[in-house]
Every structure is written in structure tokens, then in C-alpha cells.
Amino acid sequence: MSQPWENEEYVKYTLWFVFACVIYSIIGFSWGALMGGIHEFRHFVDQRMFGKLIVRAHTHVNLLGWVEMAIFAAVYYIIPRLVKRPIYSMKLVKVHFWTHNLGLIGMVVFFTTAGIVGGMDSVTMTPAEVEHLVRPWLATMGIFGSIVLLANFIWAYNVFRTCAGWRKS
């Protein structure tokens, strides 16, 4: 007899979280190695105004990409087996996956852009001018960060609804 969580689409999306985890880990680890291993890159992120934003982009790839995607995959795999019922909403799993990836990629792009723009222009502009130039990039990054937060709420809701009333099953 087939178990409710053996749905092909469910397995596919759970594996996509795993694959995303692997891809983000390779990106994050490589990025960190480049920042540490290339003197000019390390100097730029350490010494230039707003250069640390590039480090924040790297950190978010690792935390929200590698670590969180692994956690999402594990929870999506484990919870239905613990409560002996399918995930509450397959549609929410899909929305969660795509929303989280969109938000994370946007955050990384705009963190990095703000770091590069701020770092390059800090050579010829005053700190106040650079701050004014970087502010819209960071505001946009914040919008994408809010999208990631929304994705996390979608995940939490879906997991909560899957677990709620588990003893009644």
C-alpha cells in the first residue's frame, strides 16, 4: 500500500530542496575560498567602505541557501513520517521553494551590488555620497529579505498544519 507522502511531486520538491542546498553550498564555499585566498578581494571586502556587504552576501548564501535548504528538506522528509500523514499543502511546498529561492537570489545580488558600488565609489566620493548611492540597493535587498521571511512563514504554517492534531489520525 502506498503511503500518502510517497507522492512523486512531494519527493521531487523535497529533493529540489536538497539539490538547492548542494548548489548553494558549492557557491558559498567557493566564494569564501576566493575571499580568503585572493589578496585583492580580501583587501576590498575588509578595507573599502561597504565592502563588508559582499561578506554578508556570502554569509546569506551559506545560511539561507546551504543550511536552511538542508533543514527544509529534512523537515519535509521527516514530519509526514512522524505524524503519519501527508504534508498539509503541496501547493505551499512549491510556493515556499520558489519564493525562498527568489528572495535569496535577490538578497545576494543586491548585497553584492551595494558592496561593489560602495567599495568602488568610496575611493572618489565622500562617505555621505557613498551612503546616498548605496541606500537604494540596500532597500531593494531588504525587499528580497522580506520575501525570504515570507517563504519561512509559509513553511512554518505548512509544517504546523501538517502536525496539528497528529494524534487524531
Instruction: Flag whether pLDDT at 3 surpasses 80.
Output: no
Residue 7, pLDDT score: 86
Cα separation, 96 vs 163, whole angstroms: 17
The pLDDT tens digits of the residues spanning 22-74 come to: 999 999 999 999 999 999 999 999 999 899 999 999 999 999 999 999 999 99
DSSP string, 94-122: HHHHHHHHHHHHHHHHHHHHHHHHHHHHT
User: How confident is the model over 71-83, as a mean pLDDT?
Assistant: 95
Lowest-confidence pick of 5-9, 15-19, 27-31: 5-9
The pLDDT tens digits of the residues spanning 98-156 come to: 999 999 999 999 999 999 999 999 899 999 999 999 999 999 999 999 999 999 999 99
Cα separation, 128 vs 59, whole angstroms: 26
Residue 169, pLDDT score: 57
Long-range Cβ pairs for the range 117-121 (8 Å, 24+)? 117/50, 118/48, 118/49, 118/50, 118/51, 118/53, 119/44, 119/45, 119/48, 119/49, 119/50, 119/51, 119/54, 120/48
Cα 28 versus chain centre, distance: 11
Cα separation, 97 vs 164, whole angstroms: 22
Cα separation, 96 vs 71, whole angstroms: 13
What are the percentages of helix, strand and coil residues in the chain, rounded to 5? 85, 0, 15
Residue pair 87/73 in contact (Cβ under 8 Å)? The answer is no
Cβ-proximal residues to 129 (8 Å cutoff; 6+ apart), any chain: 121
